[in-house]
Structure 1
Amino acid sequence: MSSLHRPPVEARVYVPAPGEASDVEPMPAGDVTEGVVRVGGTIRRPHQPQSLAVAAYLDWLEDAGFEGSPRFLGRDAEGRDVLTFLAGQCAGPVPEAWVQSEELLASVARLVRRLHTASSGFVPSAHPFPPRFPAGAVSQDPAELVCHLDVTPQNVVVRDGLAVGLVDFDLAGPTTAFKDSFNAASHWAPLRDPADAWAGWEATNPFRRLRIFADAYGWNDAERRALPAFGIEAAALSYERMEHNARVLGGGWARMWDEGVGDMIRRRGAWLEANTGRLLDALSR
């Protein structure tokens, strides 16, 4: 819908069309957000403090011609956010063998690059993203570009073996394009200690996969040289943030912390440091 014909996000109310399907299908639970369901051709999500900022961002992406994100339709009679459903396949909690496709990997990188191009110029002025952390509590990202920030295999919609869409914009917010693309590469290579490898992924080569992502996204020479140190610093910051959220917000954050995510993040940082030379070699040769 054109921005000239749709009401502002805070005033948008979703009214089902006559005869619209009303069957309810629970969707896989995310790490933090629960209670997401599919109703016909829509997704219903609990309304959250960042919902209107995300809705405005999705409107911007629609106007920019980016077809890989849901559209915000409004809030339903129960107060839930209503989004369009993106048809396709998403990975399970332990990504299946088909997720290892190098063609899929490259398409993920290209999709993230298209997202960043479409995001350029968006300023969340009417509905700013709430601060992720209290001032001074945890370091904040530079606010250069609003991005997805959670491009995991579980949040990428795949059709015919290629990435076509992104779902779950709960963590979207201001950051940098390099931070968002690095996060995506970390999930998809993946960059982690072999002790934390997903079952069935033990034989994959993260260095080769990182190079495929880098080439498909289009990292420049400076970004490639900066990646190991950037990743080590990002792991330390991620540990700090996860610990803060587990302690202050509880819920899914506390559950992940109790399950050992903090130790896994520390192992990832140590692995990146120990493999700095191999990472640089893979990215430069």
Structure 2
Amino acid sequence: MVATLLHETPLRGGDVTDGVVRVGDTVRRPKSPSTPAVHALLRHLEAAGFAGAPRVVGFDEFDREVITYIPGSCGITVHNVAEDGLRSLAGLLRGFHDATEGFSAQGWVEGSNDDRAPEVIGHCDLRPENTIFHRGSAVALIDFDQARPTTRLFDVVTTLRHWAPIADPLDRHPLLRGVDVGARLRLFCDAYGLPPRDRRRLLDLARLRFHRSYDVMRKRADQGGAWAAMWAGGAGERIRRAAAWLDVHEDELHAHLV
């Protein structure tokens, strides 16, 4: 049991989990059905020597999970979305995937996924809010609530959805509105070391992910709570616009990949 003696500072940025606070050098989060699987994963990553994830401390007197706080910045900034930032993110994701090969545990969440056999544990929600940067380099992944067994390519696609980004310019952050998406896809895939067979399949899998994530989010929204709020805020429409934008620009994006 970890006692809470210091001031609690709310941490914001996530769409689904409420009640996340910083207490000293730790983060306290409400338990969820995925907590046991996530803790097993984080302990595995620590044992494997992967430095880019929080460490499990335990639970506090309010039965909240306690993990270590990782200093740095998150979200979209000029430095974080620059080429060096994107390149470092690809390397961090590759290191995470390599560290999870062969790991298995029960209790993973269900969500949109690839049809192929799982190869690794994917983060599956590597948005800017879930990536910690230090001096323009990605140093850690946080918030593993959506993690699950999947393929490397599916997690790459999910990451590029936000970081390339594969999205209608209407829905992009102003700093990403005018970027060359195809060039950013190529840069990330090069830095990750994605093989040609996966690059040829990347856009098809992105389209499949759009359709499946739309269905998954709509079903979760029916249950109410944060998912319903996201849906009411236009999440479904943004997915549809991203899929339509991909249909229009697929050929030019594919040319960068192959």
Shared fold by TM > 0.5? yes
* Unpaired segments ≥5 residues, structure 2: none
Matches within 5 A, 1:122-137: 122-124=103-105, 128-132=106-110
Q: Which secondary structure state, in structure 2, belongs to the residue aligned with residue 212 of structure 1?
A: helix
User: Is 1:272 the counterpart of 2:252 in the alignment?
Assistant: no
2:236 aligned residue (262, 267, 271): 262
Q: Which secondary structure state, in structure 2, belongs to the residue aligned with residue 237 of structure 1?
A: helix
* Unpaired segments ≥5 residues, structure 1: 1-12
In structure 1, the partner of 2:77 is 96
Between the aligned partners of 1:186 and 1:29, the Cα distance in structure 2 is 18
In structure 2, the partner of 1:66 is 50
Q: Call closer, same or farther: CA 1:182–1:74 in 2, change over 3 Å.
A: same
1:57 aligned residue (41, 47, 57): 41
In structure 2, the partner of 1:3 is none
In structure 1, the partner of 2:121 is 146
Post-superposition shift, 1:143? 3.8
Matches within 5 A, 1:154-233: 154-233=129-208
Q: In structure 2, give the amino acid aligned to 1:87.
A: P
The percentage of counterpart residues that share the same residue type is 39
Q: In structure 2, give the amino acid aligned to 1:113.
A: R
Post-superposition shift, 1:96? 2.7
Q: Contact between 1:149 and 1:171, CA under 8 Å: does it hold in 2?
A: yes
Q: Name which one, 1 or 2, has greater alpha-carbon Rg.
A: 1
Matches within 5 A, 1:85-124: 85-91=69-75, 95-124=76-105
Between the aligned partners of 2:209 and 2:37, the Cα distance in structure 1 is 25
Post-superposition shift, 1:201? 2.5
Q: Which secondary structure state, in structure 2, belongs to the residue aligned with residue 183 of structure 1?
A: helix
Q: Which secondary structure state, in structure 1, belongs to the residue aligned with residue 80 of structure 2?
A: helix
Q: In structure 2, give the amino acid aligned to 1:182.
A: V
* TM-score, normalising length: structure 2: 0.94
In structure 1, the partner of 2:215 is 240
Q: In structure 1, give the amino acid aligned to 2:229.
A: R
Post-superposition shift, 1:98? 2.6
Post-superposition shift, 1:252? 1.2
Write the deviation string for residues 91-131 of structure 1: whole angstroms up to 9, x where unpaired. 1xxx233332100000000000000000111111xxx1245
Write the deviation string for residues 18-60 of structure 1: whole angstroms up to 9, x where unpaired. xxx6121110141000100000000000011110110000000
Post-superposition shift, 1:15? 4.7
Between the aligned partners of 1:36 and 1:263, the Cα distance in structure 2 is 28
Aligned length: 257
* TM-score, normalising length: structure 1: 0.86
> After the TM superposition, which parts of structure 1 deviate over 3 Å for at least 4 consecutive aligned residues?
138-144
In structure 1, the partner of 2:17 is 33
In structure 2, the partner of 1:9 is none
Between the aligned partners of 1:139 and 1:101, the Cα distance in structure 2 is 29
Post-superposition shift, 1:132? 2.1
1:76 aligned residue (60, 69, 91): 60
Q: In angstroms, what is the RMSD of aligned CA positions?
A: 1.7
Q: In structure 1, give the amino acid aligned to 2:145.
A: D
Write the deviation string for residues 169-212 of structure 1: whole angstroms up to 9, x where unpaired. 11111111111111111211111112212123222111111111
Q: Call closer, same or farther: CA 1:116–1:30 in 2, change over 3 Å.
A: same
Q: Which secondary structure state, in structure 1, belongs to the residue aligned with residue 174 of structure 2?
A: coil
